[in-house]
Structure 1
């Protein structure tokens, strides 16, 4: 099948490469020449494990190509819309400029029977509006919604072997035909047993934002418990282990720490609240305001803990920050709690040195005044306080005895509750973590 992918950022690049890996012929369309040039050369413009290999193999096979020419999508049977939906400047709502532009770019090239497949995360009601626009231009084309569920750092795995596939289609024969075509696109995953759910457009749009809001709520819940644990002398990690054994709750996403960030959860829950307000049901999601507030408080609390550990002031004190990406196995620093904490301490007069295995260049572009170290030992040397803010495996597995030989003072703050507290204390470190004694 010939497939087009409009928008070759994080979602689109991964989706295009994986569709080619599954045997489809894919053309990726993007407005940025530098992005197209890099992808055409088999180079991922961002860090994602496994993606460079798939880009190279799919490109060598002749099944994958990238272009800035909108006419290249003509002849494709399925057109995936994979552009971003960032938060509007100064507002909570999603900016749909790129989605609208992507669909408009497709309209002159749609043929009868073509499918326009939205994968971007959009406010409910967007797909219905876009479907009307598609039908105005090509009445025999169909717009459906097929939300993405990618986890950064595991996006290739999640695309090739999804834990669920959701279709939002219209009622009647047109919807049935769309399902048949999408089943052909995802034949490999369906054959492997990935659950496939078919629903209406509205529900399909809600699935992703509802899932992200639930995960954000779970993270903020355990971080609220961390605040209570700190006040009462309890241990939030033990608490999470205990309640996580309840099969109704589960242990995943109950890791207390700095909270969530990145390009999805923060902006998605805010856009969800904004859309609920537009629909007149803002009270239904009012709890998400507290979810967001709890999440942001974690960053302030980490700076406060650093100040406490250093006797009441961080002014002029050398602090090593391990990790600046919002999560491990990613170079994404969008709304990164780690980078936010590092920047706040620097603005308050601390001598901060930041290191990260993949995200230094992105971090430097965002906060050029911060000091960065490529090597973790360079960041640690002479530090009066060490903060572990992104749980990269190389930081989790650090030998505290080795670290002790580099730092000036043996103090560590575990912002992700990922270190072996006993081992660090045995090496002579003062160890503290959010929600633990």
Structure 2
């Protein structure tokens, strides 16, 4: 049913997802495109632009056979029947919704590119995390261009065996955890497909996407629903996971004041079958590019719907996360009688979690910044985080002269601890465990 797929966006989600699809669907040509020549060059090299366990083997197995990485965006779009859009939707930094709403500029630009290049109807799949009803915006862009180009049919009619009568937008959110993304893709808990089951074109588009996943996913794990439900489910899932982290961290603060052991409490809570053991480990708090952004998106949606109590509830999850970080930093500083000037502190781990090089929204950034404010010397070691990225992250919060004088990026853990007054473990890499 589908012979060619195009994936717009060769980042973390697009690169991993399309590589696994190509691996399981050898008869489908999969082309991942991006405007960055550097990123595409890395995907075509021996050193991939992202680190993810198992990804390198999958890419090498199918690259050049039915998986291709290219900057020829127009050709890939024109030839494909189905197009995944996996572009960044960061939180807006300006205008209405600043600091809460997602910036849809990249998504809309991708949709307009598809609209301008396409000479036939396409199935466009939202992989990017988007607010509710984003699919309507994309559909409007596609169908306006189709009418202008003269090949749009406004009526569904009967879906022809040769393809669609009009372009269709589906929601197919990703549920990847960095560090286990390949495992998540190979053995997903569920696949969500959001679309319009009431129309012939909608049903055909859903079946086209569903047929791809059926190559390796059990039919019972593929859940079909409305587009809006699918879009909201992604935000809700991340909000619930972040909520659990903030909840156990809140309990950990009580434990420290009372002498209770958070590990015992977490074990007791997790033994309840209604709750389960996942995401019940007290920590510095959550980081990464998704949780904070998606909760802010949910807060903004709630505010726009005049659900202020709902907005406050979800915002409190972020406030608890910030409290946990601040509390941790205060404890470190107090251990040295509030005097850290010139003292070397070893930082183990800078990525936001183990088994990834991704440092976005890492709690280690905030810990290092607090220590730098106290004029400590920070010696950082992470097995995968890139030295230039560590420096860039710290420069976003500190002046260059502070970073130059007080930050040492080390190539080994032993180098980091040499002369250190303390070791702060910010990321649970396996090599740091006793």
TM exceeds 0.5? yes
Whole-Å separation in 1 of the counterparts to 2:66 and 2:212:
18
SS at match of 1:367: helix
Q: Secondary structure at 1:305's aligned position in 2?
A: helix
Q: Which residue of 2 aligns with 1:183?
A: 210
TM-score using structure 1 length: 0.87
RMSD value, Cα: 1.6
Q: 2:340 maps to what in 1?
A: 314
**Partner SS state of residue 189, structure 1:** coil
Q: Counterpart of 1:65 in 2: which secondary structure?
A: strand
The equivalences for 1:13-162 within 5 A come to 13-22=15-24, 23=26, 24-89=28-93, 90-138=98-146, 139=152, 140-162=166-188
Match of 2:391 in 1: 364
Choose the corresponding residue for 2:313, options 284, 287, 291: 287
CA contact (8 A) 1:323 1:389 kept: yes
Map residues 3-18 of structure 1 onto 2, 5 A cutoff.
Answer: 3-18=5-20
Contact 1:128-1:201 within 8 A present in 2 as well? no
Alignment pair present for 1:378 and 2:420: no
1:256 to partner: Cα distance: 0.7
- The answer to whether the 8 A contact 1:43-1:55 is kept is no
Distance in 1 separating the partners of 2:212 and 2:53? 23
Provide the residue aligned with 1:428 in structure 2.
none
Give the whole-Å Cα distance in 1 for the aligned partners of 2:386 and 2:144.
Answer: 47
Deviation per residue, 1:241-261 (Å, 9 max, x gap) = 101111111111011110101
| Cα distance in 1, alignment partners of residues 67 and 41 from structure 2 | 16
Q: What's the offset of the Cα at 1:68?
A: 4.1
User: Match for residue 157 of structure 2?
Assistant: none
Shift of 1:386: 1.0
Q: Deviation string for 1:158-210 (max 9, x for gaps)?
A: 222211000110122222111210122112233x4561111001101001110
> Do 1:161 and 1:194's aligned partners in 2 also have CA atoms closer than 8 Å?
no
Q: CA deviation at 1:83?
A: 0.4
Structure 1 gaps, min length 5: 398-437
Residue 349 of structure 2 corresponds to: 323
Are residues 1:258 and 2:295 paired? no
Separation in structure 1 between the aligned mates of residue 23 and residue 235 of structure 2, nearest angstrom: 28
Residue 305 of structure 1 deviates from its aligned partner by 1.2
Q: 1:26 is paired with a residue of what secondary structure?
A: strand
Aligned residues: 396
**Distance in 1 between residues matched to 2:386 and 2:81, nearest whole Å:** 40
Q: Which residue of 1 aligns with 2:429?
A: 392
Alpha-carbon separation, structure 1, partners of 2:119 and 2:261: 61
Q: Cα offset for 1:112?
A: 4.2
Equivalent position SS for 1:27: strand
Verify: 1:298 aligned to 2:333, yes or no. no
Question: C-alpha distance in 1, partners of 2:112/2:419?
Answer: 56
Partner Cα separation in structure 1 for residue 118 and residue 303 of structure 2: 35
| Range that drifts further, 26-35 or 280-289 | 280-289
Per-residue Cα deviation, 1:73-95 (whole angstroms, up to 9, x for no partner): 21211000000111111521111
1:308-336 CA-to-partner distances (Å, cap 9, x unmatched) read 22233222222111011110001111110
Q: What is the SS of the residue equivalent to 1:294? A: helix
- 1:365–1:232 Cα change, 3 Å: same
Structure 2 gaps of 5+ residues are 147-151, 153-165, 396-402
